[in-house]
């Protein structure tokens, strides 16, 4: 029998879609943000579209998107260890014909994927600007995933726009304190902001996550703010919408 897991890894269940994914607390474990991004992204159901997931990590967004579309999905991830984990998760779930992962910096995306050909790009990028403290993070895997050490917000948005065909859609998950920067940078790179949704830990707290949709060369009219998403109840239980995303329960 094939040995799927390395010493510091575990197999988790994405129960809402009956998927299995390899995780590692010392390297990378996906967060709720990735699940929210995959749910927020609208992808064609048919098999003719091209979908790209930047900063793919261990492949969770691509795995979840595969349950919403028959189209091909390509992830791009910088860290070799995460690429290896993602490839094994794809194989475990029998999705090799639909999902693939490219190892490399997203700045070189156009060398693997032709510009102006992609229908949907998703990205769960590093949230925090690089600082001296972040570069000294003892866990380099986590430092790269969380801090803008090898890419930054402008590069993510510029690469996204370059890959997308006209009227292609971009989906980002990020932190609300960078929302103005996100929207301004999107407009600089021909991505018209179309929808945002704020995510709140609880009803009496400030938002800690924002989901953003943009359309390449889209009209500047029609911007929408969707209803808020609350994650936890007062007694720290997942609320129904989040429970459905994680476990498939209503």
Query: What is the distance between the alpha carbons of residues 62 and 100, in angstroms, rounded to a whole number?
Result: 9
In a domain, 192, yes or no: yes
Give the total number of structural domains in the chain.
1
CATH number for 112: 3.40.50.150
In a domain, 214, yes or no: yes
How much is the pTM?
Answer: 0.91
In a domain, 1, yes or no: no
In a domain, 84, yes or no: yes
Yes or no: say if 102 and 77 are a contact pair by the CB < 8 Å rule.
yes
Yes or no: say if 44 and 69 are a contact pair by the CB < 8 Å rule.
yes
Local confidence pLDDT in tens for the 250 residues of the chain: 466 787 778 888 887 788 999 988 776 677 889 999 999 999 999 999 999 999 999 999 999 999 999 999 999 998 899 999 999 999 999 999 999 999 999 999 999 999 999 999 999 986 656 655 545 555 555 555 555 555 688 999 999 999 999 999 999 999 999 999 999 999 999 999 999 999 999 999 999 999 999 999 999 899 999 999 999 999 999 999 999 998 886 5
End-to-end CA distance of the chain: 36
Residue 137, domain extent: 10-247
């Amino acid at each position: 029998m094939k040995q799927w897991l390395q010493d510091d890894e575990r197999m988790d269940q994405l129960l809402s879609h009956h998927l299995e994914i390899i995780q590692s607390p010392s390297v990378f474990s996906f967060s709720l943000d990735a699940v929210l991004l995959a749910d927020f992204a609208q992808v064609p159901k048919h098999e003719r579209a091209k979908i790209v997931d930047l900063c793919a990590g261990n492949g969770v967004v691509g795995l979840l998107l595969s349950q919403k579309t028959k189209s091909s999905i390509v992830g791009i991830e910088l860290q070799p260890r995460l690429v290896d984990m993602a490839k094994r998760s794809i194989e475990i779930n029998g999705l090799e014909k639909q999902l693939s992962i490219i190892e490399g910096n997203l700045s070189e995306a156009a060398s693997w994927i032709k510009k102006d050909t992609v229908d949907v790009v998703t990205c769960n990028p590093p949230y925090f600007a690089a600082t001296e403290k972040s570069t000294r993070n003892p866990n380099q895997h986590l430092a790269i995933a969380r801090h803008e050490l090898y890419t930054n917000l402008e590069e993510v948005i510029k690469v996204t726009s370059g890959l997308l065909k006209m009227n292609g859609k971009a989906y980002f998950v990020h932190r609300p304190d960078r929302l103005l920067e996100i929207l301004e940078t999107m407009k600089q790179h021909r991505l018209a902001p179309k929808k945002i949704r704020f995510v709140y830990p609880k009803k009496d707290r400030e938002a800690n996550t924002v989901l953003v949709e943009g359309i390449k060369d889209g009209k500047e009219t029609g911007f929408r703010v969707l209803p808020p998403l609350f994650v936890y109840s007062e007694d720290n239980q997942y609320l129904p919408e989040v429970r459905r995303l994680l476990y498939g329960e209503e």
